[in-house]
Amino acid sequence: MYQALLVLSLICFSSANFVKLRSNAGMFYDTMAGVPRSDEEFWLRLDINQGLSWTLDSSYYSCNGSNVSSSLCFNSAQNVYDASNSPTADFVDVYANTTVNNTDEASAERVNLTNNLFADGVYMEDNFYVTLNNGARMTATDLKFLNAHNSSAAVGSLALGSYTSQDVPTFLQRLQSGGLIESNSFSLALNEIDSSYGELYLGTINSTKYVEPLVEFDFIPVSDPNGVFGFDWEDTFPTVPISGLSMSSNDKQRTVFFPNEWNNTVLTGTYPLPMMLDSRNIFIHLPFSSIIHIAVQLNALYLDTLHKWAVNCSVGQLDATLNFHMGNLTVHAPIKELIYPAYQGDKRLSFANGEDVCILAMAPDVYIGYPLLGTPFLRNAVVAVNHDSKKVAVANLNRDSIPPASNVSVSESMGVYVPPPVSTSRTSERPSTLDETSTANFDKREESAISSSSVTNSSSRNSSTITSSGTQTEQTSGIATIETDSIPGALGNNLTDYSTLTLTIYTNSEVDELNPNIATAFISNGSIYSEPYPFSGTAVAESFSASPSQAEGSNSSSSGSSLVLCFFTSLASLLTVSCLLL
């Protein structure tokens, strides 16, 4: 019987079947997981660099005692795992590698995740399935995971990474040992920010999702000398080299390349820069100087009380891209993919002239301790990860292959939540961490609204563990199995200067003093007011017709609908400004 099911499963999974990921306004991506032979189903958030999957225990949402004041205490039954509802759940002592009788005997641990989240809980073991777009299920049997009674995140993780602190088998390894995938691998196409869903391919890659070339890189080692995340050195994280950045105007076919040197206010260096891929972070974390170069192009204003950059939302209409160079590959990210709407409470944040404010989806790397490529990058690429060979392949997203835009009504709280200031005066108070906990994605209303959305997996509680469906998949060609030693279609990279790179994780720190030549702004009564723009002349003042420079208090003016690309040669002095009219 098992052999028959295995053969059937390989037939079912040989076509373009994928896990449909619920898109939370293009910020985070979730899938519904479940336990066979029970009614237990719960949302898990995609996490591509952690190896330990974890759930939120139902007791955490009891809203009793100390939990009652928690910002995460709300009606979110679909995000929690209740072991009492599962006939196959066991508590685990990971040190003795055996099941135990109760939570008191189970191994307890705090997991410090590499995206500055944490989860406190005990180890458990159960059978977890995810559902493919054709209705078939893929079940990881006897999966060891952490059941958290406390966490800084409101959704657990479907972990597709390799690193676990206790060296327990991962979700992908359990699928591999069960014969459901050939290798410890996956590929990912999150599609664009307004797409109705993302696509996760377990053990396969779909060539119709990307534009060649697909370029392969070895994992760059990660060093953690201060023990921030509990390891000394690992080569198990999908970390890639970025050899440089540029910005292009597509309609006028012009490109400006940013300087090769970077300065994050603590360290200086040159590209290539090792950057970790992370699907649980809605920002791209770059050196401070690199973000300034980008901000100048978009006429962004720096909100120094929040350490974020505000731009006019209409920059998303520009036919321009930010380009991530990776040797013989360049990933192109349209500007609209790099901004989020900004809210304060239920109100859209606006400039003094009434135009909507968006937040640039970038943050200084010093605030988390290392450079990182979050979902704004992943939305514009197709990524394949092979943990067996410790390689990651990257290509540009084929935008002709993406699903239609979401017609789900998303609550107004979706976007980046800008907390109200303690007063109208500017302050040096440090903001909350730039991760899941600082976004409106954790607003109580949003969780219930998204849970009832139509972007769900087509699962059935009563279907068998592996089922055959007559439903035709969206795509039936281009699928290839990722073997243990190779990623199909991937070419080698031509970077010769990154073999000695190591991504070093430092303790996060704060920029004490900003360069006085950065354009800053402050928030008052739901509006952003800019301070006088520091640049002389018209190079930046005439940059964009609907720019933040029109905000009250600015000395800048508009000059039509074009964009001026400008860059300066020195973070310290900003003496030389070069501009390119797009």
Helix locations, 464-504, DSSP H: none
Asked if residues 106 and 124 have their Cβ atoms less than 8 Å apart, the reply is yes
User: For residue 526, what is the DSSP state?
Assistant: T
Ramachandran class of 191: left when φ > 0, alpha when ψ lies in -120 to 50, beta otherwise: left
Asked if residues 214 and 35 have their Cβ atoms less than 8 Å apart, the reply is no
Four-point Cα dihedral 390, 337, 458, 178, nearest 10: 0
Could you tell me which CATH number the domain at 230-372+402-450+503-581 has?
2.40.70.10
Q: Which CATH class, in words, describes the domain spanning 2-201+452-491?
A: mainly beta
Q: Where are the domains of the chain?
A: 2-201+452-491, 230-372+402-450+503-581
Question: How much is the pTM?
Answer: 0.80
Q: Please determine whether the domains at 2-201+452-491 and 230-372+402-450+503-581 fall in the same fold group of CATH.
A: yes
Quick one: tokens of 386? 């092979």
Per residue of the chain (582 residues), what is the pLDDT tens digit? 334 334 334 434 444 689 999 998 889 999 999 999 888 899 999 999 999 999 999 876 544 444 444 444 444 557 889 999 999 999 999 999 999 999 999 999 988 776 567 899 999 999 999 999 999 999 999 999 999 998 888 889 999 999 998 889 999 999 999 999 999 999 999 999 999 999 999 999 999 999 999 999 999 999 999 888 888 999 999 999 999 999 998 876 889 999 999 998 889 999 999 999 999 999 999 999 999 999 989 989 888 767 789 999 999 999 999 999 999 999 999 999 999 998 877 788 888 888 999 999 999 998 889 999 999 999 999 999 999 999 999 999 999 999 887 654 333 345 665 555 443 332 222 223 334 543 333 232 222 222 222 222 333 323 223 322 333 334 446 899 999 999 999 999 999 878 899 999 987 665 444 444 455 555 555 555 555 433 322 222 222 222 232 222 222 322 333 333 433 333 333 323 334 434
Helix locations, 135-237, DSSP H: 171-177
